[in-house]
């Protein structure tokens, strides 16, 4: 059972916008930076967003992140079939004294 | 560009010790502000953080694994090591090593992962 709560799945049509939520508490998201990862089947997770809302070089600006209080959101605009993947949020947890991941969200581009 | 490569046995017997090594090239995992982390993913499931060893010498482990896990870093060899004792089938997973940026807590580089199966 993950400390951070994500919807198991989201879906949208090509070209549309989708958001993925990540809900936590004051001991994790509320007190630390959030990062987001994209994972295709059989491959390693890849950093998409760090420090709540920053993109590493090479990540398209179609991907965005935000944080408010104890929740964070990943946004993807101009959806492409190549965006179909699992997405995970992560942050430090003061109670666990370690990193924690959300349960992951499977994105389907219809 | 930093590269991380996990290596170790792909098959471990129940009750034995799982040992993996992560070799670093074109960069560092042991200098400030970095930490060497291990993450695992059971087949068909989500990501689980195992633990970390930081440039400060501090280490932290997932409470659910703390009694069985040790992470160490050999700076001279540019390697990170993971040991998990008394393994069971529940430890079957793809194991990833990752570099984490300390204090900001994100994994900027991750290895390709290695599947470890626990079976007799």
Which tens digit of pLDDT belongs to each residue from A50-86? 999 999 999 999 999 999 999 999 999 999 999 999 9
In sequence order, which residues have a C-beta less than 8 Å from that of residue A58 and are 6 or more positions away? none
Instruction: Report how far Cα B4 is from the mean position of its chain's Cα atoms.
Output: 11
Q: What is the mean pLDDT of chain B?
A: 95
Look at residue A1 and tell me whether its pLDDT is greater than 80. Answer: no
- pLDDT value at residue A8: 97
User: Looking at CA atoms only, how far is residue B120 from chain A in angstroms?
Assistant: 25
Q: What are A8-53's pLDDT values in tens digits?
A: 999 999 999 999 999 999 999 999 999 999 999 999 999 999 999 9
Task: Please give the Cα distance from B5 to B26 (Å, whole number).
Answer: 12
Percent of chain B residues topping a pLDDT of 70: 100
Contact indicator for A71, A21 with CB cutoff of 8 Å = yes
Distances (CA, A) of B112 to A90, A96, A98, B94: 19, 26, 22, 9
Q: What is the mean pLDDT of chain A?
A: 96
Task: Please give the Cα distance from A107 to A12 (Å, whole number).
Answer: 8
Residues of B in contact with A35 (CB under 8 A): 105-107
Q: How far apart are the first and last CA of chain A?
A: 29
Which residues is A31 bridged to in the sheet? none
- pLDDT value at residue B44: 95
**CA quadruple B37, B107, B65, B42: dihedral sign:** negative
- pLDDT value at residue B82: 98
Contact indicator for B80, B21 with CB cutoff of 8 Å = yes
Q: What are B39-88's pLDDT values in tens digits?
A: 999 999 999 999 999 999 899 999 999 999 999 999 888 999 999 999 99
Contact indicator for A13, A27 with CB cutoff of 8 Å = no
Which residues is A88 bridged to in the sheet? A37
Chain B window 13-72: which residues touch A at a Cβ cutoff of 8 Å?
A: 37, 39, 46-49, 51-52, 60-63
Average pLDDT over residues B13-32: 94
- pLDDT value at residue B103: 86
Which of these, A50, A53, A46, A40, lies nearest to A82 by C-alpha position?
A40
Residue from the list A45, A86, A101 with its beta carbon closest to the beta carbon of B110: A45
The answer to whether A56 contacts B63, with C-beta atoms less than 8 Å apart, is no
pLDDT band per the 50, 70, 90 thresholds, residue A2: low
pLDDT band per the 50, 70, 90 thresholds, residue A3: confident
User: Looking at CA atoms only, how far is residue B8 from chain A in angstroms?
Assistant: 17
Greater confidence, B28 or B99? B99
Percent of chain B residues topping a pLDDT of 90: 88
Q: Give the angle subtended at the CA of A42 by the CAs of A37 and A43, to the nearest 5°.
A: 40
Instruction: Report how far Cα A83 is from the mean position of its chain's Cα atoms.
Output: 13
């Amino acid at each position: 059972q993950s400390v951070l709560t994500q919807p198991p799945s989201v879906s949208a049509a090509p070209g549309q916008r989708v958001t993925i939520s990540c809900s936590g508490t004051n001991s994790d998201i509320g007190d630390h930076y959030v990062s987001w990862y994209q994972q295709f089947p059989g491959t390693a997770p890849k950093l998409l967003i760090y420090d709540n809302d920053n993109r590493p070089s090479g990540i398209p600006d179609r991907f965005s992140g935000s944080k408010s209080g104890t929740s964070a959101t990943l946004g993807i605009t101009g959806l492409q079939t190549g965006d179909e993947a699992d997405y995970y949020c992560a942050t430090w947890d003061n109670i666990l004294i370690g990193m924690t991941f959300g349960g992951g969200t499977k994105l389907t581009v219809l | 560009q930093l590269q991380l490569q996990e290596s170790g046995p792909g098959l471990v017997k129940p009750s034995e010790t799982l040992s993996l090594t992560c070799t670093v090239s074109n960069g560092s995992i042991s200098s400030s502000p970095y930490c060497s982390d291990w993450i695992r993913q059971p087949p068909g499931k989500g990501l689980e953080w195992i633990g970390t060893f930081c440039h400060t010498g501090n280490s932290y482990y997932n409470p659910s694994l703390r009694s069985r896990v040790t992470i160490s870093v050999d700076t001279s060899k540019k390697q990170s090591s993971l040991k998990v004792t008394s393994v069971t089938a529940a430890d079957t997973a793809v194991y990833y090593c990752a570099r984490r940026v300390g204090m900001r807590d994100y994994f900027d580089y991750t290895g390709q992962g290695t599947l470890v199966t626990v079976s007799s």
